[in-house]
Structure 1
């Protein structure tokens, strides 16, 4: 159910001059369009991705759209622990980091189960990599939050989680792997981690908010064509346009991530998604039992179990005690 919230003008975003944001998976899709939108606000935007050529293309595309933008790029592959630790060490050395959008992910899982660093590929990419990265970057976010309110981590959820009914998790999918199950379970786990991070950050008094954004049903085939970033085929355009009544562009989907990151009205534990669930303007929604997107993933027992699994799988312990008020 949509919560009453202040109007949000996606064309005239609040000034973010002096603030620094990181976006994972910024070389295409939602991540690119979120970076382009943030670049208009005066913020310094750090684009991350695993392919240097695509990073260069994405950054160049943003500079063509926003010539005065302040951007940089950093190599980061969320499927590789070494890459995560290296990028995090670089980012922790910066003077400030106001927010991160944990956007990178596998949207179309492989037909057969694959692994990355000993874990199921979709799980490693969508869940474990971002859990480890957020934990590694918590010191940088907390230091900024202690000086200037508003530090946030934004997790990317999905409308598909509304179809998830189970509390019995099998994260590695060693038996019964299916493409749809791999994706939906990964997004369920992301939302459970976001809710658990919110509880733990609040309990420890760490000045960093954990929020969820979901893009509704956003398609590249309904998005602007951009050389080196988004170049859908004619067939992809045709099929996407057939779904126009229920789908929107990646640009529109990205507005939810951006609002979740910079809107002062978004509080710890909130979710931002399209007003029509599948499409529409970004709105703040309740994260409670009345919201089918979060009814199970918001349960403390589910969050605690997901957290324990990720701590063990990534060998990452978030330093809450060091940065509590």
Structure 2
């Protein structure tokens, strides 16, 4: 299973929706998918940043088919409106669940429903969006749902009944546990899709150790300071730019050899061309998956039944 990031399959006719696509891995995945011919929808919280990203893609990819739709994954109302907009589309071939808080607040914060903010942003909003937009995925032959995980999942415990970190919050645990929950959700969704006989694949990926200081500068999208570039380049032996980190979700979106339940990451763990990777045992645990699904339904108030 090899992949050349410079020879991406033709994606003309496909519609790809990328959450949190105005910066980072989400932006570069969107740019690369647009360059492959896909119609790319950038689902972003900030209209101004979304427009800057759309303009950048159009500058860098002549003839790109790209647009934007409002989405704040930590706002249940915004998620509902975004899902309604997706349901108006004829097809959605790939739903790339990328949006997230990478640098959590020092102190615990909550969304309007009282859910811990990092969990809400990195997991709950995507769960709700996927559940509500599921009909358009069902009517798109060979649709894929790609969930962005993280190397941080290797470095944290996962007390499944303390996802809200009520009384045990710190910023590191908030990020790492939210990413474990995201991976758990991606694999559990695949099991349910297969059991129901759906022609939809759920794939989980991680982008390695991708830093902004090793990423091409793009006005309005990625503008690291000289100090940031200097510091990040000191780690060049084991890091890569976010443009290279984006190779992984792009492969998950377009490679015909990718199957539901696959886990992809950089070949050399922190950097390199995308390849199959090993997910943590917890991420793939069926019992954990079933419990997390129950909790996500409870926290969001959103039932998500994958029926035959």
TM over 0.5: yes
**Which residue of structure 2 lines up, in the alignment, with residue 262 of structure 1?**
254
1:125 and 2:121 aligned: yes
CA offset digits 1:138-182 (Å, max 9, x no partner): 11011112xxxx210000111111123445441111112111100
1:301 maps to which of 280, 287, 291: 287
**Which residue of structure 2 lines up, in the alignment, with residue 144 of structure 1?**
140
Distance (Å, rounded) in 2 between the aligned partners of 1:18 and 1:74: 19
1:92 maps to which of 65, 84, 87: 87
Distance (Å, rounded) in 1 between the aligned partners of 2:211 and 2:178: 20
Over 4 Å off, 4+ runs: none
**Which residue of structure 1 lines up, in the alignment, with residue 274 of structure 2?**
282
1:222 maps to which of 203, 211, 214: 214
User: Does the CA-based 8 Å contact 2:157-2:177 persist in structure 1?
Assistant: no
User: Does the CA-based 8 Å contact 1:139-1:319 persist in structure 2?
Assistant: no
CA offset digits 1:254-298 (Å, max 9, x no partner): 00011011111110100110001111110023xxxxx3x321110
Distance (Å, rounded) in 2 between the aligned partners of 1:264 and 1:96: 18
**Which residue of structure 2 lines up, in the alignment, with residue 243 of structure 1?**
235
Distance (Å, rounded) in 2 between the aligned partners of 1:156 and 1:276: 18
* TM-score, normalisation: structure 1: 0.93
Distance (Å, rounded) in 2 between the aligned partners of 1:310 and 1:137: 16
Aligned ranges for residues 148-227 of structure 1 at < 5 Å?
150-227=142-219
* TM-score, normalisation: structure 2: 0.98
User: Does the CA-based 8 Å contact 2:73-2:125 persist in structure 1?
Assistant: yes
CA offset digits 1:66-100 (Å, max 9, x no partner): 11110110010000011111011111111111111
User: Does the CA-based 8 Å contact 2:94-2:145 persist in structure 1?
Assistant: yes
1:81 and 2:73 aligned: no
Distance (Å, rounded) in 2 between the aligned partners of 1:317 and 1:273: 31
User: Does the CA-based 8 Å contact 1:266-1:284 persist in structure 2?
Assistant: no
User: Does the CA-based 8 Å contact 1:138-1:318 persist in structure 2?
Assistant: no
CA offset digits 1:165-210 (Å, max 9, x no partner): 4454411111121111000000000011111101111111121111
1:58 maps to which of 25, 47, 53: 53
Greater alpha carbon shift after TM alignment, 311-320 vs 264-273: 311-320
Structure 2: stretches of 5+ with no match in the other structure: none
Structure 1: stretches of 5+ with no match in the other structure: 286-290
2:304 maps to which of 313, 318, 322: 318
User: Does the CA-based 8 Å contact 1:191-1:294 persist in structure 2?
Assistant: no
User: Does the CA-based 8 Å contact 1:100-1:152 persist in structure 2?
Assistant: yes
Q: Tell me how many residue pairs correspond in the alignment.
A: 307
User: Does the CA-based 8 Å contact 2:158-2:177 persist in structure 1?
Assistant: no
User: Does the CA-based 8 Å contact 1:24-1:101 persist in structure 2?
Assistant: yes
Distance (Å, rounded) in 1 between the aligned partners of 2:19 and 2:245: 16
Distance (Å, rounded) in 2 between the aligned partners of 1:57 and 1:88: 23
Q: CA RMSD in A?
A: 1.0
